[in-house]
Chains A and B, each alone.
Chain A
Amino acid sequence: GQSLEQPSEVTAVEGAIVQINCTYQTSGFYGLSWYQQHDGGAPTFLSYNALDGLEETGRFSSFLSRSDSYGYLLLQELQMKDSASYFCAVRDRGTGFQKLVFGTGTRLLVSP
Chain B
Amino acid sequence: DSGVTQTPKHLITATGQRVTLRCSPRSGDLSVYWYQQSLDQGLQFLIQYYNGEERAKGNILERFSAQQFPDLHSELNLSSLELGDSALYFCASSVERGRAYNEQFFGPGTRLTVL
Chain A interfacial positions (CB closer than 8 Å to B): 30-31, 33, 41-45, 48, 50, 87, 89, 91, 94-105
Contacts and interface: CB of A to CB of B under 8 A. Distances in A.
Given A50-B101, A91-B101, A99-B33, 6 more contacts: A31-B101, A33-B101, A45-B105, A98-B33, A98-B48, A98-B94
Contacts, number: 65
Given A96-B56, A97-B96, A98-B31, A44 B41 contact: no
B43 A43 contact: yes
B42 A48 contact: no
Contacts of A42: 2, 90, 106-109
Contacts of A94: 56
B42 A95 contact: no
B108 A100 contact: no
29 contacts: A30-B99, A31-B101, A33-B101, A42-B106, A42-B108, A44-B2, A45-B103, A45-B105, A48-B101, A89-B43, A94-B56, A95-B56, A96-B50, A96-B56, A97-B98, A98-B31, A98-B48, A98-B104, A99-B33, A99-B48, A99-B56, A100-B45, A100-B104, A101-B45, A102-B42, A102-B45, A104-B41, A104-B42, A105-B42
